[in-house]
C-alpha cells in the first residue's frame, strides 16, 4: 500500500514535470571541476549557495539532477559524471583511494567510449592524463581541502560553466547504460503487477531525521532471519519490486522529505501528500495544519470549524485521496511508524477538530496554534539538550490527531509530570489537559469546565479548589510574599484535604496585608461557599487533578481579562454608534 501510493504520487509529479525521470536523482554538489577541451583542469569552482538556517545564514552545496547514484555496500563503485574528490581526483590517504580513483576512470572510459562530443572528449582525456600528484599545482585553499576531505561531491563543467552531465551525447550514453545495466531476474512486480526486472538493491531514502546521513533503506534484507525460505542471500528478491516501481517510490519519498510537506514530532518524521499531487491546494492546507501557519490559511479553516460550517474551499477537492506517513530512524534502515489513507476532507476535519479542542484563553504573546511538534515540547524538560518527545508518544499522538481518536494516556501523564516538577502551568500544558479530557469518554460529570475560559458558575470540587489555590497565591503575592506554589502546588493538586486548611489559615494574614484585601476576601469566601461546607477530598484522582490545574489556570488568566472585556465593549459600542449613524443618514 505504501509503495503503491508513493509510486502513484511519483507518476502524478512526473506528469506535471516536477520530478526527475528514471536514472536521475537530485544530489548535493559542492564544486565543479573546470575542464579545458584537452582535458586539463583549469580550476575548481565553488557551487555553494547562501541559505538561511534559523537565524543564521550559511553556505551549502546546491542541488542538481545528476545520473542516479550507485548503491555502495562493501565493494568499490563509482558514480557517473559526479563523485567525491577521492573517486574523481584521487584525493586522500586511504589505502583504497587508488582503487576508487581507478574505478571512476574505468566507468567513464567504458560509458563514454562511443561518445564524440567536446564534453565527452574532455572528460575522457581528463581521466587519461590526470593523477593525484597534479593537485599540488592548484594551491588549494583550506576550505577546499576541508570540503574534499569531508566528501563533498564534484561535477565537470567547461570554461563557460556548462555542466557536462547535461551534454546530449553523455545523457544518451548514460540512459542507454542505465536501461541495460545489471540484468536481474524478471518477475511480477508486487507494486505495479507488471512483468519487470526485479530490483535487488533499493535506492536509499535521505532526509529522515536521525537516520544515516548517506541515506537509509525502506526495503532491505541483509540476514537470513529476514529472508524467505529458498531466498537466502537474494536480498530484494524476497519482496519482488520492479526496477520502475523501486525508482518511483524512492524518488517520490526523497522528494517529499525535501519539500514543505513534512514535519517532525519526537523522532518521527511525518510526510503527507495528495494522490493528485495538488501542491497548491490540498497539500498547502495540510502544511498549514501541521505547521501551525499563523496566517490566513489556518484562521480560515478554524473559523469554519468553530462556526459549525462544513469545510469547503475553492480549488480544493475534499474527496481526493490523501496520505500521511510517519518514519523513524533505525540504524541503516527506516521504520514505518504509521501510514494512513483517507479522503482529504475527512483528514482535514479531524485535524481541525483537534485544534479546536486545544483552544484556550492565553496571553497575547503565546503561540496561536499548538502544533504537534510544540505539543511534544510541552512534555520535555525545558533545559534538556534533546527536545524530542518520547518516540512512542509521537506516533500515538499523530495517530490520534489524524484519525480523531482518543489521545494517548502517555501524553496526559507526561504533561502532568512536568507540571508537578516545574510548579507552573503554561498555556500549552493547560490546552493539552483540556483537549485530553474533552476527548476522553464518559466525561459528562466534568465537561462543563472543559471550556476555553473560566466557568465561574461551576461547582466541580476539583475545579473550584484549583481556582481557590490561584486566589490564595494571589493573596500571598499581594502581601509581598511568595513560595506558595513551589511549596504546596503538588500536594494541593493531589491531596487537598491535607494542605488547604493550613493554606487558608496563612491566607487570612496575607489578605489582611494586601491592598485589595476586600476583593480577595470576597473571592475566597465565594469559592469556599461553592464547596458546600463538605470535608475537603483527601485525594484527587488523575482526571480531577487535571480539573484542578484547569481551574488554577483559568483563574490566573481571569486576572488579565477585565481590560480585554472593556476593550471589547468599547469596540461593540463604536460599532453600534457607526451602525446607528449609518441608519440615521439613510433615513435623512
Instruction: Provide the grid cell at 511.
Output: 489578605
Beta bridge partners of 153: 84
Per-residue model confidence (pLDDT) at position 580: 42
301 and 254, same domain (yes or no): no
**400 within a domain of the structure (yes/no):** yes
**203 within a domain of the structure (yes/no):** yes
Radius of gyration of the chain measured on its C-alpha atoms: 32
306 and 216, same domain (yes or no): no
461 and 556, same domain (yes or no): yes
SS3 533: coil
Number of domains in the chain: 4
Q: Which of 130, 162, 181 is the last residue of a domain?
A: 181
Instruction: Provide the grid cell at 342.
Output: 483517507
Residue 134 has pLDDT above 50, yes or no: yes
Strand duo 31-35 + 153-157: pairing = parallel
Residue 224's pLDDT band (cuts 50, 70, 90): low
Q: What is the rounded average pLDDT for all residues in the chain?
A: 85
Residue 225's pLDDT band (cuts 50, 70, 90): low
44 and 86, same domain (yes or no): yes
**576 within a domain of the structure (yes/no):** no
Residue 231's pLDDT band (cuts 50, 70, 90): low
**Residues 279, 199: Cα–Cα separation, whole Å:** 30
Range of the domain at 493: 447-563
pTM for the model stands at: 0.70
212 and 342, same domain (yes or no): no
Residue 7's pLDDT band (cuts 50, 70, 90): very high
- Average pLDDT rounded to a whole number, residues 519-535: 87
**53 within a domain of the structure (yes/no):** yes
Per-residue model confidence (pLDDT) at position 560: 75
64 and 138, same domain (yes or no): yes
Residue with cell 441608519: 583
Strand duo 153-157 + 82-84: pairing = antiparallel
**569 within a domain of the structure (yes/no):** no
For 385, which DSSP code?
Answer: S
- Answer for the pair 272, 11: CB distance below 8 angstroms, yes or no: no
pLDDT digits 0-9 by tens, 419-448: 999 999 999 999 999 999 999 998 999 999
Amino acid at each position: 500500500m505504501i509503495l503503491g501510493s508513493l509510486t502513484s504520487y511519483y507518476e502524478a509529479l512526473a506528469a506535471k514535470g516536477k520530478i526527475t525521470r528514471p536514472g536521475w536523482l537530485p544530489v548535493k554538489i559542492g564544486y565543479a571541476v573546470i575542464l579545458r577541451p584537452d582535458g586539463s583542469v583549469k580550476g575548481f569552482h565553488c557551487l555553494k549557495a547562501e541559505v538561511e538556517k534559523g537565524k543564521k545564514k550559511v553556505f551549502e552545496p546546491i542541488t542538481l539532477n545528476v545520473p542516479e547514484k550507485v548503491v555502495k555496500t562493501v565493494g568499490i563503485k563509482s558514480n557517473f559524471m559526479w563523485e567525491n574528490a577521492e573517486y574523481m581526483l584521487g584525493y586522500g590517504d586511504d589505502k583504497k583511494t587508488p582503487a576508487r580513483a581507478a574505478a571512476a576512470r574505468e566507468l567513464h572510459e567504458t560509458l563514454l567510449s562511443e561518445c564524440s562530443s567536446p564534453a565527452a572528449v574532455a572528460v575522457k582525456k581528463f581521466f587519461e592524463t590526470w593523477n593525484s600528484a597534479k593537485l599540488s599545482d592548484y594551491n588549494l585553499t583550506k576550505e577546499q581541502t576541508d570540503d574534499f576531505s569531508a566528501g563533498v561531491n564534484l561535477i565537470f563543467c567547461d570554461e563557460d560553466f556548462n555542466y557536462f552531465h547535461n551534454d546530449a551525447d553523455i545523457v544518451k550514453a548514460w540512459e542507454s547504460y542505465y536501461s541495460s545495466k545489471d540484468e536481474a531476474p524478471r518477475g511480477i512486480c508486487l507494486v505495479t503487477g507488471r512483468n519487470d526486472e526485479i530490483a535487488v538493491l533499493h535506492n536509499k531514502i535521505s532526509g529522515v531525521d536521525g537516520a544515516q546521513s548517506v541515506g537509509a533503506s525502506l526495503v532491505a534484507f541483509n540476514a537470513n532471519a529476514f529472508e524467505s525460505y529458498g531466498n537466502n542471500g537474494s536480498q530484494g528478491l524476497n519482496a519482488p519490486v520492479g526496477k520502475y516501481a523501486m525508482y518511483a517510490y524512492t524518488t517520490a519519498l526523497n522528494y517529499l522529505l525535501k519539500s514543505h510537506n513534512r514535519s517532525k514530532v519526537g523522532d518521527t518524521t511525518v510526510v503527507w501528500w495528495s494522490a493528485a499531487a495538488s501542491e497548491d491546494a490540498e497539500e498547502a492546507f495540510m502544511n498549514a495544519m501541521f505547521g501551525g501557519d499563523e496566517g490566513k490559511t489556518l484562521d480560515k479553516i478554524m473559523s469554519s470549524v468553530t462556526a459549525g460550517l462544513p469545510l469547503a474551499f475553492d480549488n480544493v477537492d475534499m474527496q481526493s485521496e490523501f496520505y500521511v506517513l510517519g518514519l523513524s530512524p533505525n540504524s541503516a534502515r527506516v521504520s514505518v511508524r504509521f501510514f494512513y489513507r483517507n479522503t482529504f476532507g475527512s483528514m482535514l476535519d479531524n485535524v481541525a477538530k483537534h485544534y479546536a479542542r486545544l483552544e484556550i484563553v492565553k496571553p497575547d504573546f503565546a503561540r496561536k496554534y499548538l502544533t504537534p511538534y510544540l505539543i511534544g515540547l510541552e512534555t520535555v524538560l525545558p533545559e534538556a539538550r534533546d527536545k524530542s518527545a518520547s518516540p512512542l508518544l509521537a506516533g500515538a499522538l499523530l495517530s490520534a490527531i489524524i484519525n480523531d481518536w482518543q489521545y494517548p494516556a502517555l501524553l496526559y501523564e507526561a504533561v502532568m509530570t512536568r507540571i508537578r516538577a516545574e510548579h507552573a502551568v503554561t498555556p500549552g500544558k493547560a490546552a493539552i489537559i483540556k483537549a485530553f479530557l474533552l476527548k476522553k469518554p464518559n466525561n459528562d460529570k466534568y465537561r462543563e469546565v472543559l471550556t476555553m475560559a473560566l466557568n465561574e458558575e461551576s461547582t466541580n470540587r476539583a475545579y473550584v479548589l484549583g481556582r481557590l489555590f490561584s486566589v490564595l497565591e494571589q493573596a500571598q503575592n499581594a502581601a509581598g510574599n511568595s513560595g506558595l506554589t513551589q511549596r504546596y502546588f503538588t500536594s494541593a493538586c493531589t491531596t487537598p484535604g491535607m494542605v488547604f486548611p493550613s493554606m487558608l489559615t496563612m491566607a487570612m494574614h496575607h489578605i489582611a496585608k494586601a491592598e485589595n484585601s476586600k476583593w480577595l476576601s470576597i473571592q475566597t469566601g465565594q469559592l469556599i461557599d461553592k464547596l458546600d461546607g463538605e470535608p475537603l477530598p483527601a485525594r484527587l484522582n488523575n482526571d480531577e487533578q487535571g480539573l484542578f490545574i484547569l481551574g488554577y489556570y483559568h483563574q490566573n488568566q481571569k486576572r488579565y481579562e477585565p481590560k480585554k472585556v472593556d476593550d471589547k465593549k468599547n469596540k461593540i459600542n463604536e460599532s453600534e454608534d457607526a451602525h446607528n449613524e449609518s441608519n440615521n443618514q439613510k433615513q435623512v
